[in-house]
Chains A and B, each alone.
Chain A
């Protein structure tokens, strides 16, 4: 990164973990903590005093504080409360999710309630983003204001918008939203070029004091998984099975151009769901054996952690033992074998393979055309996943890249492209879901089909239905189903101010423009009157621009409050220290002051102590402290003099 250009960081905002990476001329690198850990758990713990902890620390508190520990926020992003409730998603979360009151009818915003305060998923994600931003700023030694953030390829428009909003609330300019499997392909693809022997500058030394193998994307350090492709143009698949989402993307790589041919997936299918299979098993058996329901949030949280550990253990071991003390001499003991676990998760894995078949069909390729299957996301560590992927594609998955880190590194590479620091990679991506409008009779009229390259544009011609009609209502939809009711509503808008004309005469051109972020922009013009409408499609489950604005302000306010809390503690310490010192000086040299001044110092000292104990107004305490210091200048001089006299000859 040249000093004059502002850094753009790459952020993988994950369901269970998030990471931040930077890329300079030496290549991408994940920014790590002192222990060498790049992952930050996407977990927030709220203390009763309103203080938030993020990451590992928050995760450790999850069991003590289940109602105020928030995780899996990503599964809530861009979704309405009704939709979440209907999907059964909320039953799995120990923390309370409620429907937020909205001034606009028809909008349905979900929010998490913490200590009586409602926070929307973008606000919660913003706290994670701020943590990553600060981590990057500390590493780079300068402030960070711009980021590329990754999303699952199968995220719809509302989910992408929610991610953007989160970035804005965190005080980040989201210069680009990119798809996670595409980011992974970027990191993979650049590695491939290294293997092909093309000159790529390598880091001379890692900037952090870490073992080299930990810090880079460099696949040459890999322990030979699969052979590199022999020619520079090849079709690859990225199988991305993360904590909360699944994506499959098929790409063609040619000479630094990463062309996505198709993508498919499921934004509600991830490692979380596999954990839930184990949780379900435990709950069922506890009920059968002891007639108990695991209801307390703390126990549920403990079971959740246990289930995750069991899943992870079963990747390396053939069985895992469970023991839960249910109190009153009731102990639940159980051994889960890998085979049993595989039986439970097979239906989920089958669904990922269906997506793979659909993606291949859409790309017009078969398993034989695919040169490599790049495995991304923590869930690809599961042996059954690897086995089934190998069966489908007829070759072992490529597991040489760290499946947790490759997405963040790809995001950093794309950030470097956008910052203008590298021009050797170009992503050509597609939209995952078709876009259209509701037409007469409640049908979905597709304007832009799924897997269309972006940016893209489509224009439809409309007219009025009755004589003298001055407005038309356009309902924007996303999805593959035939009926509007089965597709996702992105919002509706009206084009007003059409001059009164007989029905069918006005020529209304509505243009859908999907920008390089995969986000839809709509514009409309009535051709005869050249009347133009600026239209903003506000997703029914999303935040309005004004709301994002307010939350951005509030989050700054909270940052200030957090700072104020620190400052108050510091000031109170200072008050205690200064008054104790004054007390000491008064005892030693107080008699040398005028009695009235002695009295004034004592009076001010008490007032300051009272203020510090009772007030939360840091500024007032600071001013009072300064005034008190001025008041005691004479006393301090006398004390110094006395000290000099005592120690003198």
Chain B
């Protein structure tokens, strides 16, 4: 039976030297996915570049998500397999590879928690499997809240459910603020990175609590 399973999301550091030139028309490429000039798809796998590079933006926590989405849609129009369905086998293979890389990069950067996780990984970790600790008082609170959800659901107590939901939102928001603060302060210091690891682990507990809420109680826009 297999053991020792872990995600390997670390980008390779020794990418090609910049600026990257299009192999078809030799113009410099804005995104290493495809050439904006001639539309040629890059034969290099997207895993050779970090996610920020793919979008041509600076590797920072504070990014403009609306701008990121615009870039994502523009790039999708160039690399999505649908739009090269009629071209060569090789081009279609490239499109599949590039668009799966692009999708993953977008999903990661568009979500603040995943973005922070990714920045931590770029800065050298610790990775989730290397340190699974959480603030000690958190575990107890999570257990209590979980019980309160189950009770409220059982007894159909809408008001109690709303209370728990608000507490979960509050706890999660607090963690998210902390994550943002740590990322902004820079991740060169190993102590900062360890603390970030701790808060990122905590968010997972808040998320799982939120998923434990019945859908009817959890409705309401998180981030409209």
CB-CB under 8 A from A414, the residues of chain B are 82
The CA-CA distance from A459 to B101 in the complex, in Å, is: 12
**A462-B82 in contact given A366-B219, A453-B107, A456-B104 (Cβ < 8 Å):** no
Interface positions of A from 418 to 435, Cβ below 8 Å from B: 418-420, 423, 426-428
Whether A357 pairs with B83 at a CB distance below 8 angstroms is no
CB-CB under 8 A from A369, the residues of chain B are 221, 224
CB-CB under 8 A from A460, the residues of chain B are 5-8
Q: Does B216 contact A (CB under 8 A)?
A: yes
Partner of A420 from B3, B6, B86 at Cβ < 8 Å? B86
Whether B77 pairs with A257 at a CB distance below 8 angstroms is yes
Whether A417 pairs with B224 at a CB distance below 8 angstroms is no
**A141 → B minimal CB distance (Å):** 23
Partner of B73 from A175, A257, A473, A516 at Cβ < 8 Å? A257
**A354-B82 in contact given A257-B76, A369-B221 (Cβ < 8 Å):** no
Q: Does A598 contact B (CB under 8 A)?
A: no
User: In the complex, which residue of chain B has the Cβ closest to the Cβ of A359?
Assistant: B215
The CA-CA distance from A472 to B1 in the complex, in Å, is: 6
Total number of A residues with any Cβ neighbor in B under 8 Å: 54
Interface positions of A from 428 to 468, Cβ below 8 Å from B: 428, 437, 439-440, 445, 452-465
The CA-CA distance from A464 to B3 in the complex, in Å, is: 7
Q: Does B201 contact A (CB under 8 A)?
A: no
CB-CB under 8 A from A396, the residues of chain B are none
The CA-CA distance from A621 to B112 in the complex, in Å, is: 77
CB-CB under 8 A from B7, the residues of chain A are 458-460
Q: Does B220 contact A (CB under 8 A)?
A: yes
Residue picked from B82, B85, B104, B220, most chain A C-beta under 10 Å:
B82
**A412 → B minimal CB distance (Å):** 14
Q: How many A-B residue pairs have CB under 8 A?
A: 123
Whether B103 pairs with A361 at a CB distance below 8 angstroms is no
Partner of B85 from A175, A428, A440, A513 at Cβ < 8 Å? A175
**A145 → B minimal CB distance (Å):** 15
Partner of A455 from B1, B3, B96 at Cβ < 8 Å? B96
**B172 → A minimal CB distance (Å):** 13
CB-CB under 8 A from B216, the residues of chain A are 354, 357
Q: Does B223 contact A (CB under 8 A)?
A: yes
Whether B77 pairs with A452 at a CB distance below 8 angstroms is no
Q: Does B175 contact A (CB under 8 A)?
A: no
**A186 → B minimal CB distance (Å):** 12
Whether B1 pairs with A440 at a CB distance below 8 angstroms is yes
B210-222 interface bits toward A, Cβ cutoff 8 Å, 1 = contact, 0 = none = 0000011011111
Q: Does B91 contact A (CB under 8 A)?
A: no
User: In the complex, which residue of chain B has the Cβ closest to the Cβ of A419?
Assistant: B86
Whether B85 pairs with A454 at a CB distance below 8 angstroms is no
Partner of B5 from A426, A428, A456, A461 at Cβ < 8 Å? A461
CB-CB under 8 A from B97, the residues of chain A are 457
CB-CB under 8 A from A426, the residues of chain B are 76-77, 80, 82-83
CB-CB under 8 A from A254, the residues of chain B are 73
The CA-CA distance from A390 to B106 in the complex, in Å, is: 33
A465-482 interface bits toward B, Cβ cutoff 8 Å, 1 = contact, 0 = none = 100000011100000000
Whether B4 pairs with A459 at a CB distance below 8 angstroms is no
Q: Does A326 contact B (CB under 8 A)?
A: no
Q: Does A584 contact B (CB under 8 A)?
A: no
Q: Does A365 contact B (CB under 8 A)?
A: yes
Q: Does A384 contact B (CB under 8 A)?
A: no
18 A–B contacts from the bound complex (CB under 8 Å): A257-B73, A354-B215, A361-B219, A368-B221, A428-B103, A437-B5, A440-B1, A453-B103, A453-B106, A455-B96, A456-B103, A457-B101, A457-B104, A464-B2, A473-B1, A516-B80, A516-B82, A516-B96
Top 4 closest pairs, chain A to chain B, by CB: A357-B215, A453-B103, A366-B221, A462-B2
Apart from A428-B80, A439-B2, A455-B96, 10 more pairs, CB < 8 Å: A354-B216, A361-B218, A369-B221, A440-B1, A440-B2, A452-B103, A453-B107, A454-B103, A457-B104, A462-B5
